[in-house]
Amino acid sequence: MRSDDAFRTRALLERALHGSQVPDLTGERFGPYAVGRVLGRGAMGVVYEATDTLLGRQVALKILTGALPALDDLVREARIAAALEHQNILRVYDAGEHDGIAYFTMQYVDGAPLRTPAPNARRAAQIGLAIASALGFAHGHRTLHRDIKPANVLVDAAGQIFVADFGLAAREGSASPAGAGTPAYMAPEILRDERGGASTAADVWSAGVILYELVSGQHPFDASSWDELVRSVTQEPPRPLSSCPPDLEAICMRCLEKDAAGRYATGSDLADDLTRFLAEQPVRARPLNLGGRALRRVRRHPWVAALAFVLFASTVRAAIDELVLARVRRLNVRVAIRTWGPGTRRRFSRSARGTRSPINALTRTAARRRLPWAKTRRTTSA
């Protein structure tokens, strides 16, 4: 970079740090990067489309202009994020300092930030599953995101979901720097500034807020100021969801539990429940009773349920017919015995001796004697 270019870039960034505007470096050179158009702006900095002139690849360059971490911390955190290789995580390539300005570069995706609401509940669950899977992978490597929000979720032209901005990731259990995160998506323990607030459960809370917005198109808490936001998030329940499948609502509400212990422990647990919802299986956030499980199976396998119902109805009808027939037999026995003479009764006693069914023996005796009710009994049996 020429000395005059370096001076100009430095001056622009210093004015941004001490003023209210974020610099526009479009068309400038920043170290080995040729800076292109602005992709996005946030409290922590501005993201540009850029070209790495050394490697000849397109990247997303983020210039940090907020409360900046120490360079060693930035490089260490970027190294953590760079180790996360997942289909739904935007890769971090590089991090460092140029002319006293901290930056990091990420994989470039030709897409746009996530927009809410989703077209339907199923698509909302699919997007939530992609976010939860990315978080679950990071949590499995003891890494926290700390700033999950729609602006950090990108959707490419094919609908693929990427969780971005892992450049401020941290190891689980590390302290959250002041200003890290977006208030509207912060968990209650973060807003209360509790010690050890940064956790996997805090990431799950943020993912739950996004899922809620995907389903409803609005934030779960009604607040117009910082004080109202803190009070609502820490004390009031989320607004009820309308026109939402009960299982998906239960998943959202579990993510938004005030107590971190009541939420899903990690992104993987949230992803598992969203997978169950998409597969129309009972979700752990809303256990079903026996009747609910049966109804769910009927919906999943209607033809099998219909066949089972037909078989059950046939069995019940056969049992009822047999009970009715047995009743007729008993009545016929009483009638027959009253009309028999002593000889017929003796023959019936001999034929019924040692048999399990005296009625069958009676039937055979009656048939030999050609009694009228025997013919009626066979017709009834048919």
pLDDT digit string, tens, across residues 205-250: 999 999 999 999 999 998 888 888 999 999 999 998 888 899 999 9
- 147 catalytic per annotation: yes
> Is there a single domain that holds both residue 39 and residue 181?
no
Look at residues 52, 83, 107 and tell me which one is the last residue of a structural domain.
Answer: 107
Band the pLDDT of 341: cuts 50, 70, 90. low
> Is there a single domain that holds both residue 224 and residue 144?
yes
Token representation of residue 157: 């032209």
The tally of domains found in the chain comes to 3
> Is there a single domain that holds both residue 187 and residue 329?
no
- The residue segments making up the domain with residue 257 are 111-300
Residue 290 domain-assigned?
yes
Using one digit for the tens of pLDDT, what is the confidence trace for 145-178? 888 999 889 999 899 999 987 756 666 555 555 4
Indicate whether 68 pLDDT > 60.
Answer: no
pLDDT at residue 334, as a whole number? 64
DSSP state of 172: T
Indicate whether 54 pLDDT > 70.
Answer: yes
pLDDT at residue 315, as a whole number? 87
pLDDT at residue 153, as a whole number? 93
Mean pLDDT for the stretch of residues 186-202: 82
pLDDT at residue 205, as a whole number? 96
pLDDT at residue 64, as a whole number? 79
> Is there a single domain that holds both residue 36 and residue 98?
yes
Using one digit for the tens of pLDDT, what is the confidence trace for 75-96? 776 777 788 889 999 888 888 8
> Is there a single domain that holds both residue 280 and residue 307?
no
Q: Quick one: which of 105, 181, 86, 198 has its CA closest to 144?
A: 198
Per DSSP, the three-state class of 254 is helix
Sheet with 45-52, side-by-side order of all strands: 29-30, 33-42, 45-52, 57-64, 101-107, 92-98
Distance CA 354, CA 290 (A): 46
> Is there a single domain that holds both residue 323 and residue 292?
no
Distance CA 39, CA 97 (A): 21
Residue 58 domain-assigned?
yes
Indicate whether 287 pLDDT > 80.
Answer: no
Indicate whether 197 pLDDT > 80.
Answer: no
> Is there a single domain that holds both residue 354 and residue 315?
yes
Residue 76 domain-assigned?
no
pLDDT averaged over the chain? 78
From 18-32, 117-131, 269-283, the region with the lowest mean pLDDT: 18-32
> Is there a single domain that holds both residue 219 and residue 357?
no
> Is there a single domain that holds both residue 220 and residue 344?
no
The one catalytic residue in 52, 94, 147, 269 is 147
Percentage of the chain exceeding pLDDT 70: 68
How would you label 336-363 residue by residue, b for 16+ Cβ within 10 Å and e otherwise? beeebeeebeebbeebbeeeeeebebbb
Q: Quick one: which of 144, 218, 145, 153 has its CA closest to 184?
A: 218
> Is there a single domain that holds both residue 330 and residue 189?
no
Indicate whether 23 pLDDT > 90.
Answer: no
Token representation of residue 76: 């260490």
Angle at which helix 246-255 crosses helix 267-278, to 10 degrees, equals 170
Token representation of residue 169: 């990731």
Angle at 79 between CA 142 and CA 68, to 5 degrees: 100
- β-partners of residue 97 are 102
